[in-house]
Structures are given as structure tokens and as C-alpha cells.
Amino acid sequence: MRLPEVFASQPFAVSIEIFPPKTAEGDEALRRHMQTLVQHKPAFMSCTYGAGGSTQDRTLSWCEEINSDFKRPAMAHFTCVGSSRDELNAWLDRAAAAGIQNIMALRGDPPQGETEFKVAAGGLGYANELVELIRNHPSEFGIGVAGYPEKHLEAPNMDVDLENLKRKVDAGADAIFTQLFFDNANFFSFRERCQKMGIEIPIVPGIMPITNFARIKRITSMCGSVFPKDLSDKLEAVQDDSDAQFEIGVEYATRQCEELRDNAVPGIHFYALNKSQACQKILEALTR
């Protein structure tokens, strides 16, 4: 099922994002967690694509497994990094042959050890160009793109960032999935500004439940997400108690999701970090 059909067929579509593990043991652990997650019938599951295309084969194989073994539609992440147009089209050919119907189109981050994005020879420099390439491919993919409620780190200001987003939408995107955030007011403001610009496709909030304070601090420092002081203070007070961190994080994310659901979001995209426990608790609370 392609993204337009997903959002047309249900008022609230939950989706879950995973990443390819690095070991066989990690693969098996992820499969166990996914067995739990699919019991909640997510509308689809997505799989990331490593920096510099480092996991592109694993991305495809995991998406095939999502489709075949877990019986959920898959969305494969796809970036411009390190590839020419011909190589990008060849990857799309493989994705279509693997039965993948949805693509998350991203410019991509620089490969490890590099500080800035560089256009590959014969390649693309922007996500809107990648959306256009996918839209012009013979296969009819559903296309997701990223949105940034608190601005992309490289954008000089929010106006420029929203203009970049509008280019991706105009190029043929079907849905926007946001960067993680912890203040719903920032998402609602972002959504309102998108609507005023004439963006009418689904805007899906991205939620990452906090399960470890140190890890979430690293993640937010890399992506620029605002971390509320009251939440930081609560987690700081229990930084030596992993169970308490988990409970505080899940409770906070549950309240976030309930408020988002009650304010007519088309769904929620969970950054599960290859674990099931936090998402399971949140989804159980949302269906009570």
C-alpha cells in the first residue's frame, strides 16, 4: 500500500521506524521486538539508509522482510549521498523489483568523517531533486519527505527551511514526517505555517520515546531539537536509575501523543531505536 492510500484509508496511521542492525545477533533481537510491534498493526514500517549509502543493501533486505514476514507495508529510506543519477535510478529499480512501494526521500548526511555534504559526480544536491527523480521513475512509489518543526540545522532561518520543504512537496512528495521534537507547541506552529503556504499533504509528527537520558542528549545535540528544561531536570535527577528514566520518558511521550492525536494529526511516526517496550506502552495507552 502506497502512502496516499495509507492516509486515505484511515484517520490515524501509526508508523514505526527501524534501522539495520550491524550484527546477526542484532538482527534476531530486532525481529523479536518487531513481533511485538506488529501486534499493534502499524500502517507501515520504515527502515533507514546509512550515511553514504552504507546500509543500502540491508535497507532493501529489511524492507523485503517487513513486507513478507511481518505483513506490513515497508518504506525504504533513500538518500542522494555518494551516488550518480544512474546509480540512484538503479537502486530504485531494485527497490521496485523487491516489492517496495514507498520511499523516504532525503538528501542525506555527510559520510562519517566528513563535515559537509558534497554532490557526487553526476548526482543530486537537494532532496527536492531526489523527489523529482523518484516521481519520474517508471515505478509509482509513494514518497515521504522530512520536515523540521524547529528548523534544520543547516537552514539560516525557519522561512528558508519552509521554502525548502515546499520545494519537496511541489516536486511530488505524498507526506511529510517530522524530525523528533518534545514540545508540541512547536509542531502545531510548524503545521500552521505549512498550511498557510498551501501545503496540503499529511504532516506526520515524529516521536522518539526517551528511554535513556544520555542517549537522547546526544541525539538532540546532533539534530537541534529543543529539550524542555522541566523534562531535563526530571531525567537529570534519576540519571543513575535506568528504570526511572524509562518511566519518565514513556509517560512524557504518551502525553505528547495523546495531545497530538486529539489535535487531528494524521498519524504518529515512532522512532523506535529497534526496541519495542516504550512504543508498546505508548500504543497500549493510546488504544485504551
Q: Where are the domains of the chain?
A: 3-286
Q: For position 245, what pLDDT does the model report?
A: 96
Three-state SS for 218-271 is HHHHHHCCCCCHHHHHHHHHCCCCHHHHHHHHHHHHHHHHHHHHHCCCCEEEEE
Q: Which residues are part of the catalytic machinery?
A: 17
Residue 119 has pLDDT above 90, yes or no: no
Q: For position 222, what pLDDT does the model report?
A: 86
Q: For position 56, what pLDDT does the model report?
A: 75
Strands 175-180 and 142-147: parallel
In angstroms, the CA 104 to CA 279 distance is 21
What is the average pLDDT across 30-54? 88
Q: What is the CATH number of domain 3-286?
A: 3.20.20.220
What is the average pLDDT across 187-196? 98
Of 112-126, 197-211, 244-258, 264-278, minimum mean pLDDT range: 112-126
The answer to whether the pTM exceeds 0.75 is: yes
Q: For position 50, what pLDDT does the model report?
A: 66
Question: Helices in the chain by DSSP H: which ranges?
Answer: 3-9, 24-37, 56-68, 85-97, 127-135, 158-171, 184-196, 213-223, 229-237, 242-262, 277-286
Q: For position 82, what pLDDT does the model report?
A: 83
134-154 pLDDT, tens digit each? 999 999 999 999 999 999 998
What is the average pLDDT across 198-211? 97
The three-class DSSP label of residue 15 is strand
Main-chain dihedrals φ then ψ at residue 249, nearest 5 degrees: -65, -45
Cβ distance 266 to 7 under 8 Å? yes
Of 13-17, 48-52, 55-59, 264-268, minimum mean pLDDT range: 48-52
Q: For position 149, what pLDDT does the model report?
A: 97
Residue 287 has pLDDT above 90, yes or no: no
235-274 pLDDT, tens digit each? 999 999 999 999 999 999 999 999 999 999 999 999 999 9
Q: For position 52, what pLDDT does the model report?
A: 54
Of 59-63, 114-118, 220-224, minimum mean pLDDT range: 114-118
Residue 111 has pLDDT above 80, yes or no: no
Q: For position 202, what pLDDT does the model report?
A: 98
> How many CA atoms lie less than 13 Å away from 234 in the CB half-sphere?
16
Main-chain dihedrals φ then ψ at residue 268, nearest 5 degrees: -135, 135
Q: For position 28, what pLDDT does the model report?
A: 97
Q: For position 113, what pLDDT does the model report?
A: 64
What is the average pLDDT across 31-55? 87
54 — pLDDT class (breaks 50, 70, 90): low
Q: For position 85, what pLDDT does the model report?
A: 94
108 — pLDDT class (breaks 50, 70, 90): confident
161 — pLDDT class (breaks 50, 70, 90): very high
Q: For position 221, what pLDDT does the model report?
A: 86
Residue 53 has pLDDT above 60, yes or no: no
